[in-house]
Structure 1
Amino acid sequence: MKTLFVITGSMFACATAFAQMSPVGLWRNIDDKTGEAKAEIRIIETTGVISGKIEKRIGKGAKPGEVCEECRDERKGKPVDGLEIIRGAKKAEGKDVWEDGKILDPENGREYTLRLTPVDGGKKLEVRGSFGPFGRTQTWVRVN
């Protein structure tokens, strides 16, 4: 019986560690320019594909009921709270990196090529948005 508990505990610890090295979960995005927390984003995985929505905005300038005026697709005019901003990322083979997706900046309506990399044991997530050779990286913090 004691062995069963040890094995079960070890399996749970491994599963928890594996889950933490994934972008799936709730994240607080931190603006790379101001250092301000702006929103909480919920990232999910469905059939191997990552997507993410703004769960709630927490930045100083967040206005209730604000819509994405700058969006250029079906998200135009949709509420920013609940807006899907991450689409289509997939895990790179043999790496703890998710790429080939897109991330939307609802402030300017632009979509960028996306790369997600869990770091610091999965406590942080490097979110890289790029357009051609240009890009920037934000570090998001996992919300427990």
Structure 2
Amino acid sequence: MKKLIALTVTACFFAMASFAQSGADAIVGIWLNQEKDAKIQIFKKGNEFYGKLVWLKNPKETNGQDKKDTKNPEEAQRNRLLMGLEILKGFKYDTDDVKWADGSIYDPKSGKTYSCKLTLKDKNNLNVRGYIGVSIIGRTDIWSRSN
């Protein structure tokens, strides 16, 4: 009987861990930003989540060159291509509040980096809240899941 209880508890533990893992991975995929001019692929590295630009509506400059990170405050970074650039970094899944927090978002249009948290509005819409200091002082964009 004790072995049966131990086996049941172990099975429940693994089922809950699997559920928590799938909940954490719910943001993995490709998302279209609110302006509909970029797609960001969110992926997992270790226990953290990151996002990189994988599509741009206008990937080229007027001279035909690929767009670069020209607004970056670090001069040495200004020659990086925007395509493939990691703009979301270091998000950790918070099971209590069902959100991804403690990360940052880089805005290549301004060259600024903000603290950020991500919250699924539903399975196809992601609230992306960028802020300075506390999340009350910030802005939320809604990204939509891309096919």
Could you tell me the TM-score, scaled by structure 2's length? 0.74
One-letter code of the match for 1:38? D
Among candidates 96, 99, 120, match of residue 97 of structure 1: 99
Local SS of the residue matching 1:22 = helix
**Alignment RMSD (CA, Å):** 2.2
Asked whether the 8 Å contact 1:25–1:44 carries over to 2, the reply is yes
Structure 2 residue runs of 5 or longer lacking an equivalent are: 1-14, 61-65
Q: Does 1:140 align with 2:134?
A: no
Q: Which residue of 2 aligns with 1:53?
A: 52
**Greater relative contact order (Cα 8 A, min sep 6): structure 1 or 2?**
1
Q: Which residue of 1 aligns with 2:8?
A: none
* Structure 1 residue 77: Cα displacement: 1.8
User: Equivalents in 2 of 1:75, 1:93: separation in Å?
Assistant: 35
Aligned residues: 121
- Structure 1, residues 11-53: CA drift from partner, whole Å, max 9, x if none? 9xx97xx46972211000013xxxxx11010000111101110
* Structure 1 residue 75: Cα displacement: 3.9
Percent same amino acid among aligned pairs?
31
User: Equivalents in 1 of 2:73, 2:127: separation in Å?
Assistant: 26
* Structure 1 residue 143: Cα displacement: 1.1
Q: 1:134 to 1:52 in 2, by over 3 A?
A: same
Q: Which residue of 1 aligns with 2:70?
A: 69
User: Equivalents in 2 of 1:116, 1:63: separation in Å?
Assistant: 26
Local SS of the residue matching 1:30 = coil
Q: Which residue of 2 aligns with 1:129?
A: 130
* Structure 1 residue 105: Cα displacement: 0.3
User: Equivalents in 1 of 2:138, 2:116: separation in Å?
Assistant: 10
More helix by share: 2
Could you tell me the TM-score, scaled by structure 1's length? 0.75
Local SS of the residue matching 1:77 = coil
Q: Which has the larger radius of gyration?
A: 2
